[in-house]
Amino acid sequence: MDLTSINPVLLIASLMVSATPILLAAMGEMVVEKSGVLNLGVEGMMITGAITGFAIAVNTGSPALGFIAAAAGAAMLALAFGILTQFLLSNQVATGLGLTLVGLGLSSLIGKPYEGIKSPTLPRLDLGPLSDIPVLGRMLFSHDIMVYFSLALVAAVWAVLKFTRAGLVLRAVGESHDAAHALGYKVVRVRLLAILFGGACAGLGGAYLSLVRVPQWTEGMTAGAGWIALAIVVFASWRAGRVLVGAYLFGGITVLQLNLQAAGAQVPVALLSASPYLITILVLVIISVRGVHGAPASLGRPFHASH
Amino acid sequence: MTGTLLSLSGLTKAYPGVVANDDISFDIREGEVHALLGENGAGKSTLVKMIYGLVKPDSGTMTLRGAPYAPAEPRAARASGVAMVFQHFSLFDALSVAENIALGMEDPPKPRDLARQIREVSETYGLPLDPYRTVGTLSAGERQRVEIIRCLLQNPKLLIMDEPTSVLTPQEVEILFTTLRKLAAEGTAILYISHKLEEIRTLCDHATILRLGQKVATCTPAETTARELAEMMVGASLKAPEAHGRTPGDVVLEIRDLSLPAPGDFGTALRRISMALRAGEILGIGGVAGNGQDELLAALSGERRSAPDAILFKGQPLGHLGPGARRRLGLLAAPEERLGHAAAPDMSLTENAALTAMGRKGLVRNGLVGWGRAEDFAREVIAAFDVRTPGADTAARALSGGNLQKFVIGREVMQAPEVLVVNQPTWGVDAAAAAAIRQALIDLAAKGCAVIAISQDLDELMEIADRFAALNEGRLTASKPMAGLTLDQIGMMMGGAHDMEAAHVET
C-alpha cells in the first residue's frame, strides 16, 4: 500500500464536495425534527430533487434553475407528507417510509429518458486572490457556490434557532406542542413550514449529487445518503454545528476509503466501501449508550388541537 | 373597585354527548378574587377556556369593561388583558425561564431586558426566580412562579388561575395567597378555580359554583360554611370514610438504606430511604410532586431493582426481584399515571386485568391465558368498585378518569395483596369516586393488608393514614402518627421551609 499517493489537499477538497449533499439534507431534517416531526422520507425527497434538478438543468441548460426546481420538487413531495401527517394525522414513521418508496419510484420513472446524458454543471466560484493562496486556496476556496451556500445555511439555521423569535417558537413547538398550542401558537402551521424547508434542503442535496458530484443521472443514485443524513441529525444531538461536523466526518470517511482503495490497501474492497456505514452505526450505538440528549420532547408525536 | 370587569351572559358549549356549559351567566368585578368552584367534569375548564379564547362558545356573549369580548384565540385574549396560569403547567422543560416567558408574550423585549424585568417583578411579588435556569430543573412551586410572572409581565386586568395550589406545600400556598391579595389590591381581578373549600373561604370575595355544566349559585364564601359549599358543589351529602381504630400487626415490609440514582435528566435520586410497615396500617407519604414519589413507587413495585437487602418482605430480601415475582409474593402496586402506566390505553379492561392479575389469580395455565377467567375477574372488579363502563371488553382509554382509577385500584385490591403501594390514588377523580377509593383502601387495611399511600393531597392523607412521612428531594422523613400532626408540622416535614430558604438564596 502506498499512502504517499493520497494527497491531503485533494482529500480535503473532495471531502467538502462529497459531504455537501448530506449536509444540506441533514440541515433540513434537523429543522424538521426540531419542530417535533420525524420525516423518514429524506432519501425519497433527495432523489426526487436529484432527478427534478437534473431534468430541468438539462432542458434549460441552467444548473441554477435546476437547483431551484429541485428544491421546489422535493418540497412538493414534503408537502404531501405534511398534509398526510399534520392534517390527516397519519403515522409519521410509516408515511416517511412510504415517501422514500414513492420518491425512488417516481424518480426512476421520470429519469428513464435522461440516462447516459451529461448535465450542465456548476462552475467553480471565482474567489479572486483567495483561490490563489497556496494549499489553502486549492483546499477551501476552489469550490462551486453550493458548497459555500451549505456552510452559510448551517450558520443561518444556528443563528435563527438561537437568536430569533421564530427559532424560539419552532423549538417550543417541538418541545411541547400542547403547551405551545395553549399559548396560541399555530403548531400545524409551524410544522408544515418546517417540513417544506426540510424538503427543499433535501432536494438541493439531491440535485448537488446529480448536477455537481457525479454529474449524470443513474437510478437510485442517492444510495442511502438520505438515511445517513437522518443518522447525522441524531449523531449531532440536534445541533447545527455538530451536523456540520458529522456530515464532514462522514464525507471524510467516504473519500478516505476511496483513496485507500486506490492506494491498494490490503483490506477487502467491500469492507472499505461499507466502512462509512459501519462507523455511522458504531457512533449511533455509542450515542444511545450514553443516553440520547437533546431530542425534542414531542418528536414524532402526532398533534391534534381538539383537547 | 366595584366596576364590573367581565360579564358572562348565557354561555353554552356542547361537545358530542355532553353539554359542558349550559347557559352560564355571572359577573367578575375589578379587583376581586372570584372563585369558580365545582367537581371534576362540572365544566370549569371549558368555561375558562372560552374566556381565554381556546374554545369558542356555541352561544352566549361576554363583555369586557362594557365592550363586546369574543377572543378568537389566546393571543386576542392576552391583548385584551386576560392572562391564564394553567393547571398542568404549559411550560417547556428544555428551555430556560426567560425563553419560556418570552414565548408567552406578544412583543418580548431583548433577552437582557427581559431577564431584568423578570428579576424586578419576581422581587416585587416575593416570587424569587433565576431567569437563566432550565425549567426542567425547577420544583413545581418554582414552575408555577414562571407561569405567574409570565402573566404579570403583561399587566393583566384579569388573571385566571386553574387549581394553582394542588402542587404546592402549605408554605408555598401562603406565599401565593400573599401575592394574589397584593395583585387584587392593585386592581387586578382574579378568577380562581379550585375545589379546595377552605382555600376559597380564606382567599375569595365571591364564588360561582358549577355542577354538571350549570351554574348553581354565586355566593360570598366567607359567609357560607364549607359544608354548604360542598353540598352545592356535589348536590348531595357526601359519605365520609369511616374511622380507623386499627391495630397494626407484625412488620411486613422493611426498607433499609434504599438508594437509587435518578432515572433520567429530570428525575429524582432516592437517598437512603428506610422505613418499616406493619400489617393493617396505612402509611401516608406526602411531599410536593417531583421529590421522588414516582421513583419510590418504581423501587417498591420492582420496575427498578435495587440491592436485595434494601427491601425486605416478611424478612425475605426482594430488592433484586422484578414486578412479577413481587406480585406473586404479595407486594402489589398501582402507579400514578392511569393511562399508559397503570393501564394500557388501547387494551380492554379484561386484558388490563389479566396483565397484573395473571400470577395471583392463576389466569395462566400451561402457558395459555384463560380469557374466560380473566373476564370473570374483570367483571368482579367492575361490580365491586362500581366502575361505570358498557362492559369488560371496553378499551381502558374510553373510561373517564374516575372510573378507570376505580378499576385500576380495584384490580389490585381484589388480588388480596399483603402490601399495596398506591401513588396519587384519587388524582383528578371526582369527589364520589375519590371517597369510594379511600374507603376501599381503609377496608383493605382493616383486613390486615399494609398500605402505602403516596399522595400530594394532604386532606386525603389526614383522612386515611395512620402514620405520615414526607418525601423531600428523594429523602424520606421518619414517620409520625397522623393523629396530632398540625398542618405546620406537615409543611415542615414536606421540606417547605427548606424549599423557601433555597428560593431566597438564589436571588
Measured between CB atoms, which of A175, A184, A291 is closest to B93? A175
How far is Cα B373 from Cα A36, in angstroms, rounded to an integer? 43
Please indicate if any CB of chain A lies within 8 Å of the CB of B18. Answer: no
pLDDT of residue B459: 79
Q: What is the CATH number of the domain that holds A73?
A: 1.10.3470
Work out the minimum CA distance from A172 to partner chain B, whole angstroms: 7
3-class secondary structure, B264: coil
CA atoms within 13 A on the CB side of A52: 28
Q: How many alpha carbons lie under 13 Å from residue B196 in its C-beta half-sphere?
A: 19
A172 vs B53, B75, B103: nearest CB: B103
pLDDT confidence bin for A93, thresholds 50/70/90: very high
Q: May I ask the CATH architecture of the domain B4-234?
A: 3-Layer(aba) Sandwich (3.40)
pLDDT beneath 70, residues of chain B? 1-2, 16-17, 40-41, 87-89, 166-167, 195, 234-245, 265-266, 495-507
Question: How high is the mean pLDDT of chain B?
Answer: 85
How many angstroms separate the Cα of B371 from the Cα of each of B347, B354, B374, B393? 14, 8, 5, 11
Mean pLDDT (chain A, rounded): 89
Nearest residue in A to B73, CA atom: A184
Residue reference for cell 455509542: A286
Looking up cell 412583543 gives: B107
Chain A interface includes B132 (CB < 8 A): no
B43-87 per-position pLDDT tens digit = 888 899 899 988 889 999 999 988 899 998 888 888 899 998 876
3-state helix, strand, coil in chain A (%, to 5): 75, 0, 25
What's the confidence (pLDDT) of residue B241? Answer: 54
Per CB-CB distance under 8 Å, the chain B contacts of A293 are 265
Are B4-234 and B251-339+417-506 in the same CATH fold? yes
pLDDT in tens, B319-331: 999 998 999 999 9
Per-residue pLDDT tens over the stretch A256-285: 888 888 887 777 878 877 777 787 788 778
Query: Looking at the 3D structure of chain A, how many domains does it have?
Result: 1
Q: List chain B domain ranges.
A: 4-234, 251-339+417-506
**Residue A53's pLDDT band (cuts 50, 70, 90):** very high
Of A181-195, A207-221, B135-149, B238-252, least confident by mean pLDDT is: B238-252
Q: Is residue A299 part of a domain?
A: no
Report the complex ipTM. 0.77
- Check residue B479 and report its DSSP letter: P
Q: Name chain A contacts of B73, Cβ cutoff 8 Å.
A: 184
Residues of A with CB under 8 A from a CB of B: 165, 168-169, 171-172, 175-176, 178-180, 182-185, 291, 293-294, 296-297
Q: What is the pLDDT of residue B236?
A: 56
Please tell me the predicted confidence (pLDDT) of residue B498: 41
Helices (H), chain A: 8-34, 42-60, 63-82, 92-111, 129-132, 136-140, 145-163, 165-175, 177-182, 187-208, 225-235, 240-262, 269-290
Q: What is the DSSP letter of B395?
A: B
Name chain A contacts of B264, Cβ cutoff 8 Å.
291
Bigger pLDDT: A46 vs B487 = A46
Q: Is the pLDDT of residue A244 over 90?
A: yes
Give A109's pLDDT tier (boundaries 50, 70, 90): very high
Identity of the residue numbered A81: F
Q: Is residue A263 part of a domain?
A: yes
Contact A182 B92 (CB under 8 A): no
Test B103 with A185 for CB contact under 8 angstroms. yes
Right CATH number for B251-339+417-506 from 3.40.50.300, 3.40.190.10, 3.90.1310.10, 3.40.50.10860? 3.40.50.300
Q: Which domain does A81 fall in, by range?
A: 3-290
Q: Is residue A297 part of a domain?
A: no
The mean pLDDT of A75-79, rounded to a whole number, is 97
